[in-house]
Amino acid sequence: MKIETFELERRQSVWENRVRYNLTESGVHPYMLSELLTDDELKDLFSIRLGYGQTNGSIELREAISLLYPGTNLDNVLVTNGSSEGNFIGTWSTLEPKDELILMLPNYLQIWGIAQSFGVTVKPFHLKEHLNWQPEIEELEGLLSPRTKMITVCNPNNPTGAVLEEEIMQEIVHLAKKADAWIYSDEIYQGAELEGDETSSFWGLYDKTIISCGLSKAYALPGLRIGWLIGPKKTIEKMWSYHDYTSIASGILSNRIATLVLQPERRQKVLERNRKMLRGNLIVLTKWVAKHSDIFQFIPPQAGGIAFLKYNMNINSTELTTKLREEKSVFIVAGDCFGLDHYIRIGIGSEKNYLLAGLELIDELLEELR
C-alpha cells in the first residue's frame, strides 16, 4: 500500500517551529494546565499511577462525552489519540477497496489521502464561495452510485469556517438514506462559533452516522491528544478492535484532564474564553483585509480559528506562502493544500499581539510585491 503525502501536515511539521510567526494553526491559543485546573486538581494528577488506562477511553470520560450527544451512552463512544487517529480508524474500518467515498471540498484532506491509499474511489463535491461556502445539493446527488459507501463532511468547515445550513444538512441526510451510505461528520470545530448557538451535529438525524470530534480546536487543548468517535454501538465496537492495531490506548493523564474539562460548567468557560479570543482577532483581520481590499476578499468565518482569503495577485499560493516564510519568517497555509489556488488560510486563534505582528510582516511582503 502506498500512502499519499499529506501535504498540509508535511509542510506544517517541517516549518511550524522554525518561523517567528506561525499563523498556520487552525485552533485557539492553547491553555496551560495552571490556567485550566484548580490547585487541588493539579495535585490529584500526581497520585495517578501511570499504567495503561481503559483502551477505549475511561468510563468517566466516555460518559462525559456521551452527554454531548443526546441518545448516546458510553458504548457509543471510542476515545482516540486526537481526532486524526479517529479519522484514520473511521475510514479504515468502514471503507473497502473499490467503495466510493463522496467528500466535501475544500477540506482537511486527511480522509481523502487515507481513502485513496486504501483503494477507495474518492469523488469530491464542492462548497461554493458564491453560495457563502454552501454546496449545491444537485452536484452531490449526481455523484451517488450503487458503490457509494460514505459521504464525508467537515462542519464547521476547515478551511472556510462556514457552517452548513440546517436545510442543507437535511438534504445530505436524505441523499445518504437514498444511497444507504454512511455520513461521516468531522465536527472538530463545533463549539468555536464566533456568534450564536453551537453548530448542530449530524448525530440524531440518521442511524448510519459517525461523528469525529475532540479537544484540539474549539477547546484549545491539542496537546492532550484526545479525540473521539461517536456511532452506533456495534460500529464503535468494530472500531475499537481496529484501535487495538494503532495506538491501543490514549494517555491516562489526558483522560483525567479531559473528563474535568468536559464537565458542563467548565466546558462553557473554556469555550467562551476561546470564542472571545476568536471574535477579537476576527475584528483585527477584517480591518487588515479592508486595508488591502485591492488584493484580498473573504467571507468571514462563522466558526473555527481560521479565515480563508482569496487574493488577486499573479502568484501561485504555494509560491506566495514560501516567499513569506523565507523572507519574513511568517508561516501561513497555501490554498493549494486544499485544492484551491489563489487562496490562503490564516489562523486567527493566536494571541492578538502575535497576530498583529505577523500581519505587519505580511504587509512588508505585499509592499515589496507591488
Q: Which three cell numbers stand for residue 311?
A: 487574493
CATH 3.90.1150.10 location in the chain: 7-32+267-369
The candidate with the shortest Cα–Cα distance to 12, out of 80, 104, 109, is: 109
Cβ-proximal residues to 223 (8 Å cutoff; 6+ apart), any chain: 30
Q: Write the pLDDT tens digit of every residue in 73-84.
A: 999 999 999 999
Which of the listed CATH numbers 3.40.50.10800, 1.10.420.10, 3.40.640.10, 2.60.120.10 matches domain 51-265? 3.40.640.10
Say how far apart CA 270 and CA 12 lie, in whole Å. Answer: 26
Q: What tens digit of pLDDT does each residue of 135-159 get?
A: 999 999 999 999 999 999 999 999 9
Helix (H, G, I), strand (E, B) or coil at 257: helix
**Nearest Cα to 27, choosing from 91, 83, 110?**
83
Per-residue confidence of the chain (370 residues) as pLDDT tens digits? 778 788 777 888 777 788 999 999 999 999 999 999 999 999 999 999 999 999 999 999 999 999 999 999 999 999 999 999 999 999 999 999 999 999 999 999 999 999 999 999 999 999 999 999 999 999 999 999 999 999 999 999 999 999 999 999 999 999 999 999 999 999 999 999 999 899 999 999 999 999 999 999 999 999 999 999 999 999 999 999 999 999 999 999 999 999 999 999 999 999 999 999 999 999 999 999 999 999 999 999 999 999 999 999 999 999 999 999 999 999 999 999 998 999 999 999 999 999 999 999 999 999 998 8
What is the CB neighbour count within 10 angstroms for residue 138? 9
Bridge partners (DSSP) listed for residue 257 = none
The pTM score is 0.96
Domain with CATH 3.40.640.10 in the chain: 51-265
Identify which of 264, 267, 216, 225 has the alpha carbon closest to the alpha carbon of residue 36: 267
Q: Which CATH number fits domain 7-32+267-369: 3.40.50.2000, 3.90.1150.10, 3.40.190.10, 3.20.20.70?
A: 3.90.1150.10
